[in-house]
């Protein structure tokens, strides 16, 4: 009897784990990576990640966060209805001179695993940025 109960418990728990959804099952993101290219130091840049609800239920973006204080995502305030799209704005402050790659996480209500998107680029000082733009006029 104990073995039967144990087997039933294991079966129940494994089916519960399999029933959990991932963000990719209910939402499509227009792009998972965005490269700002070369940007000027201390001039914040932003990008919008578009989230499309591919499920048959409203989606609520519960929380958004970046891997450091230099990256600030803004979550939608309203639920995303089935078939509709909402935007997550991500601002990078461009304070540090460096090449950067940052992760942004989008947490949906009722789904444990957050969706991960990335931003990247290279921050140049004013002189280097101006020289880059002069040499590559179509770049900015």
What is the Cα Rg of the chain in Å? Answer: 21
The CATH number fitting domain 21-135, selected from 3.50.50.60, 2.60.40.10, 3.40.50.300, 3.90.550.10: 2.60.40.10
Q: What's the whole-model pTM score?
A: 0.82
Q: Cα–Cα distance between 54 and 51 in angstroms, integer?
A: 9
Provide the pLDDT for residue 138.
Answer: 81
Q: Cα–Cα distance between 16 and 67 in angstroms, integer?
A: 30
pLDDT band at 10 (very low <50, low <70, confident <90, very high): very low
Contact status, residue 87 vs residue 57, Cβ threshold 8 Å: no
The mean predicted confidence, pLDDT, of the chain is 89
pLDDT in tens, 31-78: 999 999 999 999 999 999 999 999 999 999 999 999 999 999 999 999
pLDDT average, residue stretch 122-132: 96
Residues in the chain: 140
Q: Cα–Cα distance between 91 and 68 in angstroms, integer?
A: 12
Strand partners, 126: none
SS3 7: helix
pLDDT average, residue stretch 89-115: 97
More confident residue, 15 or 1: 1
Q: Cα–Cα distance between 43 and 81 in angstroms, integer?
A: 35
Q: Cα–Cα distance between 120 and 136 in angstroms, integer?
A: 19
pLDDT band at 15 (very low <50, low <70, confident <90, very high): very low
Q: Cα–Cα distance between 119 and 97 in angstroms, integer?
A: 16
Strand partners, 72: 91
Domain boundaries along the sequence of the chain: 21-135
More confident residue, 16 or 76: 76
CA 113 to chain CA centroid, nearest Å: 12
């Amino acid at each position: 009897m104990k073995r039967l109960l144990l087997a039933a418990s294991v079966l129940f728990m494994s089916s519960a784990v399999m029933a959990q959804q991932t963000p990719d099952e209910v939402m499509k993101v227009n792009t998972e990576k965005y490269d700002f290219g070369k940007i000027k130091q201390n001039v914040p840049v932003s990008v919008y990640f578009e989230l499309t609800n591919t499920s048959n239920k409203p989606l609520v973006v519960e929380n958004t966060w970046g891997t450091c204080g230099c990256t600030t995502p803004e979550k939608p305030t309203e639920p995303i209805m089935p078939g509709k799209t909402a935007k997550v704005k991500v601002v990078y402050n461009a304070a540090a001179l460096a090449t950067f790659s940052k992760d942004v996480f989008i947490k949906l209500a009722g789904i444990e695993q957050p969706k991960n998107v990335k931003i990247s680029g290279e921050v140049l000082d004013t002189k280097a940025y101006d020289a880059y733009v002069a040499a590559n006029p179509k770049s900015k």
